[in-house]
Chains A and B, each alone.
Chain A
């Protein structure tokens, strides 16, 4: 069974700090890894990573994948209060047909103090 582990479970930092969130995985047929931000209810898509060592970047957020060591990190620089959320890591489980179901980690709850 696919397994996704995130650390830390929670993190409290001051506005302006840089944070690194971790995600490790054990997957039978790895294709990609996804990061989501969940502020209140609906998770919203941030990044999809498929290749090792290639950084994906969007503003102050960036993410990278290490397929050899089976982990990914999500970095947020110059944090703002609007970054407070639960960050979820997920791996798709490719079926024999159709759409992939997602296996999620437990998430990291990030709190930014003004």
Chain B
């Protein structure tokens, strides 16, 4: 079992550009959540996907959008990048309606905006 995988590992973008990050959930998991972790901070919830629909959303602007595919993998898109979007983006997968301890985190994508 490969666990939760994310790609790419690192990414450097320029202000104003758009970026797409990808996540493949752990085998048997159908729910994907995305978190943003700025340097020196704890992860902040962005949104959660299940059955290809956004189910919950945190306090993030509409520049942050996502998608879930029929195979449960997910993408996070960020438009009009700002310097403040530089962070580690974590993906967590779990079975739907599982307990919180059943969220498994991926290794993250480090996004740097210059």
> Do residues A98 and B100 form an inter-chain contact, with CB atoms below 8 A?
no
Knowing A99-B31, A103-B45, A107-B42, say if A92 contacts B100 (CB, 8 Å). yes
> What is the interface size of chain B, counting residues whose CB is below 8 A from a CB of the partner?
30
Task: For A93, give the chain B residue with the smallest CB separation.
Answer: B45
Contact partners of A32 in chain B: CB under 8 A: 100
A98–B56 CB distance below 8 A: yes
Q: How many residue pairs, one in A and one in B, have C-beta atoms under 8 Å apart?
A: 76
Q: Which residues of A contact B31 (CB under 8 A)?
A: 98-99
Known: A41-B88, A43-B90, A44-B105. Is A106-B40 also a contact (CB below 8 A)?
yes
Q: Is the CB of A42 within 8 A of B48?
A: no
Does B66 touch A at the CB level, under 8 Å? no
In the complex, B7 has a CB within 8 A of chain A: no
In the complex, residue of chain A having the shortest beta-carbon distance to the beta carbon of B88: A41
Task: Name A residues whose Cβ lies closer than 8 Å to a Cβ of B.
Answer: 4, 6, 32, 34, 40-45, 48, 88, 90, 92, 95, 97-107
- Identify the B interface with A (CB < 8 A): 4, 31, 33, 35, 40-45, 48, 50, 55-56, 58, 88, 90, 94, 96-101, 103-108
